Amino acid sequence: MKLLKGLLAVSLLSLAAHANAGAIYATDIDWQNNGTIGGTNDRANPANALGSPDGQFTAIGLGGFAVFEFGETFTGPSSIWEVTFGCGNDCGHYPEKAQVWVGNNYNFGSHDFSDLSDFTHLGDITNTEANGGGSVLFDGTWTYLALVDISATISSKSTDGFDVDAISVQKVPEPQTFVLLGLGLIALRAARKAK
């Protein structure tokens, strides 16, 4: 009985550790200035979109795109932080919008839009939704997340497109987490039968 309780405790702790594994942030970006991005506020610095939210940002350019890596495979949900000055709770005065895509095959560093052809479109996010961190829900295991600016489709006044401060995703749980959870559930069932 003590062994069963021990297995249950270990599996629950393992599950809790996974639940608290938390977000991981983008560690690398494949991006190029497509000619629509100015130099103010260091918005043409791709490093500004990496790591946790800090108010610094990279403009992906009108009609431009950026592909992000996270140092390991990931799953959803994702949070995306966008910076639009004077936005507050509504960026309707200066709308920007991006498509969100995920994929596993991409020639990182090529900045080749055709490499996104086998990516999966998750949906779109606006700067109003992403101001302060907007969520995109998805599942599966992925290697890359791409943002494609579509601000021009919403009659935006933007001259440089969606401005990315940070992107987070969730770590993929390690297989041993599920094994330990399974052992714990077996132990729980055995303990109930023993009573």
Residue 143 has pLDDT above 70, yes or no: yes
The percentage of residues in the chain with a pLDDT greater than 70, rounded to a whole number, is 83
More confident residue, 36 or 184: 36
Residue 9 has pLDDT above 70, yes or no: no
Cα gap 148→113, rounded to integer Å:
9
Burial of 178 (0-12, 13-18, 19+ CB in 10 A): middle
Where does the pLDDT of residue 93 fall: very low under 50, low under 70, confident under 90, or very high at 90 and above? Answer: confident
Q: Residues 130, 68: contact at Cβ < 8 Å?
A: no
Q: What is the pTM of this model?
A: 0.79
Q: What residue has token string 């994702």?
A: 78
Q: Residues 156, 149: contact at Cβ < 8 Å?
A: no
pLDDT of residue 5: 57
- Smallest CA-to-CA distance from 122 within 161, 80, 69 is with 80
More confident residue, 186 or 83: 83
Residues 6+ apart with CB under 8 A from 157: 94
- Name the strand (E) or helix (H) holding 66: strand 65-82
Torsion sign, CA atoms 57, 62, 64, 67: positive
Residue 133 has pLDDT above 50, yes or no: yes
